[in-house]
Structure 1
């Protein structure tokens, strides 16, 4: 599979993700960087044998990479039993755990558990080593890096990334209060499509404002183009219908 262009990525992404990329690029220029492995622990799950029916249909939620939704995960498509859990590499991660998909079309997508759940081996659990690393800041860090992960995953025969790729990703060491404010800023932007510059530093605001203004104008033009295309299509249909009825 070939790599996708950044322009195509921008067209398909929520404005909050593009702004997150701008913010994290700025942070990487102004803060010390460490491999992610120095600030988080990672783990993955496993798949109970599909040939043993007693391993499935239990009470333990069991998630696959395709269920990562870049938001809270409140349910799973499948469930496993205690026997399935104990006879595989699957493990239960507690509510609040940050998850990252590693395999397939959703490689790089994230989710935050709103339930206790297990996962298969295609999902990486990311656990901060101490309270100085904010989980929601990490959540946006991964969303800002998804374009990078996608293109890495498309470089091989299978669209996959690994725990090593995740752990080697350079992470900006940012003071805890700024981490919280950036996460809040981006979450508000995703929800409302409005920006609250009071939450971020002045050196971040400048590049964010120019990008936000550009993307907002571009989106308005896109919406207007879609309207015009619809009008043209309706006009063609009306003309055709008139010609048939004569």
Structure 2
């Protein structure tokens, strides 16, 4: 590859100090819980966030001395080479790692900025994922890291690039914290408005679902409608997006034609929705498998958006437990027939209350959706910047680089 002016390329081993780790013998309790943070596969969700500060497990000084584990200095870059291949981070304090990780100490040679290396690893994540091999757990072998080459500019420019990319990460992190706060607030509001205690306090009547809704049975037939599935916590997802292909096949004509304002219940259980999940189709027309139970309001006195929030909060679960028989069917779905499904009881406030509550909660959800769109925009901008800045296609202005040289 042709390098930009002033850039070099070298084996990563030549410009950093590579290391790894080990797992102390778990038979000896004295090797564990001794205050030394130890990064393992249990910390996978904490990676890819620039710095890792906490770990799920800790080892002791004795565990360190009686194993091949190494205490790496604060600022060391680490990357997973097993499950969660390519995930990386920078140690926020002195830490040890399991044998599932590779580490690079940048301070020892002072040629590479650790944050610059972190972003380079992030940009190469897809490459690392493709290099992993194995039938059960995919792993990257050590030989790959020995021949890994890093193109890099002078240290001052590395720092400038890393700081620029950090600005985007800080914006993403701030937006995601705001999303989490607003989601907690929305959950709290839903509980206050339609939780069990709220229903009893307000004196709302509770009626069978079948009194307010009727089953949607209209089949697709020859219509050309996109087949969708339902993913817990997400909602309607096209089969092509979920599985990479359309799996409806010859059954497509028997799928249920779903329209705006209609619901569908997926009887598959999940960690978040153990009794299955229900979602409202907010716009358009799609088709869903006929193993889902699809339904729509019987009249205009039923406000779909009110029940959308009720179902997303999983308040239908307590009723479904009464009718779902133990165990799952051979296809993995919960044992529940349609007749019993429409027997579950749901709150039934006046149409005016339904509308007012739905509008208030939907407004809160809209704020969250806008913030999620903003976060995705920041992430897309960051990906574009990484592609340009980490290859030298775009360069930092000399006056900016000089600030880091002087520092």
Could you say which TM-score interval applies, normalised by the shorter chain?
Answer: 0.5 to 0.7
User: Root-mean-square deviation (CA), in Å?
Assistant: 3.1
Match of 1:148 in 2: 127
The answer on whether the counterparts of 2:32 and 2:60 sit within 8 Å (CA) in structure 1 is yes
Quote the offset at 1:144 in angstroms. 0.8
Residue 96 of structure 2, aligned match among 115, 118, 123? 118
Which residues of structure 2 form unaligned runs of 5+? 173-233, 238-257, 264-279, 281-294, 303-407
Q: How do 1:95-134 and structure 2 match up within 5 A?
A: 95-104=74-83, 106-128=84-106, 129-134=108-113
Deviations 1:27-67 (A, max 9, x none): 96534422211211111111111222222222221111442
Quote the offset at 1:87 in angstroms. 0.9
Quote the offset at 1:244 in angstroms. 11
Asked if 1:51 is matched to 2:30, the reply is: no
The answer on whether the counterparts of 1:75 and 1:115 sit within 8 Å (CA) in structure 2 is no
Asked if 1:191 is matched to 2:170, the reply is: yes
| Distance (Å, rounded) in 2 between the aligned partners of 1:45 and 1:140 | 22
Asked if 1:241 is matched to 2:297, the reply is: yes
| Distance (Å, rounded) in 2 between the aligned partners of 1:79 and 1:240 | 53
| Distance (Å, rounded) in 1 between the aligned partners of 2:235 and 2:81 | 38
The answer on whether the counterparts of 1:101 and 1:109 sit within 8 Å (CA) in structure 2 is yes
SS of residue matched to 2:146: helix
| Distance (Å, rounded) in 2 between the aligned partners of 1:29 and 1:241 | 64
Which residues of structure 1 form unaligned runs of 5+? 1-26, 194-225
Q: TM-score, normalised by structure 1?
A: 0.65
Asked if 1:136 is matched to 2:162, the reply is: no
Match of 1:199 in 2: none
| Distance (Å, rounded) in 1 between the aligned partners of 2:12 and 2:297 | 62
Match of 2:153 in 1: 174
Asked if 1:64 is matched to 2:40, the reply is: yes
Deviations 1:115-147 (A, max 9, x none): 222111111120125223111111111111110
Bigger relative contact order, structure 1 or 2 (CA pairs below 8 A, ≥6 apart): 1
The answer on whether the counterparts of 1:65 and 1:107 sit within 8 Å (CA) in structure 2 is no
Match of 2:64 in 1: 85
The answer on whether the counterparts of 2:152 and 2:158 sit within 8 Å (CA) in structure 1 is no
Number of aligned pairs?
Answer: 184
Deviations 1:132-172 (A, max 9, x none): 3111111111111110001111x333311134322322211
Task: Report the structure number with the largest CA radius of gyration.
Answer: 2
Deviations 1:65-92 (A, max 9, x none): 4425122111111111222111111111
The structure richer in helix per residue is 1
| Distance (Å, rounded) in 1 between the aligned partners of 2:116 and 2:169 | 14
| Distance (Å, rounded) in 2 between the aligned partners of 1:94 and 1:233 | 58
SS of residue matched to 2:165: helix
Quote the offset at 1:228 in angstroms. 11
Q: TM-score, normalised by structure 2?
A: 0.41
